[in-house]
Amino acid sequence: MDEMNELYYRLPYVKEFDAVVTGCVPGKSGFEVTLSQTAFYPEGGGQLADSGFIGEASVGDTRRRGGDIIHYADRALQVGSTQHCVIDWQKRFDHMQAHSGEHIVS
C-alpha cells in the first residue's frame, strides 16, 4: 500500500485538486473510492467529514479505514483515470471554524 498524500494537512485551504482513482468498489450505499491524493478530510479528531465531487461523482462522506481514505461516492469511477476533485468549501470552512471554536471554549 502506498502512503496517502493527505493534502488537507499540508494545504488546509485547498478547494480543488486532481487525483488518480486507485480503487473503486461497490459498497453498502454507493461506491467506495480511493485516490492517489486527497484534500477530502475524513471524519475524525472531532471534525466532521468533507463532501464534494470527484469528477461527476458526488461524495457524501469520507472516512479513514486503516491506511486508506475512503470517499463514498454515488457512482463508479474508472480506476486509473485522473479526476478533478472539488471540496464543498462552505461546509469545510464551517467545520473548521466550529472545531477551532470548540478548542477555544474548552
Q: In angstroms, rounded to a whole number, what is the distance separating the alpha carbons of residues 41 and 49?
A: 6
Which architecture, in CATH terms, is 5-105? Beta Barrel (2.40)
What are the pLDDT tens digits along the chain (106 aa)? 345 689 988 888 899 999 999 999 999 989 999 999 999 999 887 778 999 999 999 999 999 998 899 999 999 999 999 999 999 988 877 766 654 544 466 6
Q: Quick one: pLDDT at residue 12?
A: 80
- Element (H or E) spanning 72, and its range? strand 68-73
pLDDT for position 104: 61
What are the domain boundaries of the chain?
A: 5-105
Within 8 A by CB and 6+ apart from 93, the residues are none
Question: Cell digits for 44?
Answer: 475524525
* Full-model pTM: 0.84
Say if CB 50 and CB 91 are below 8 A apart: yes
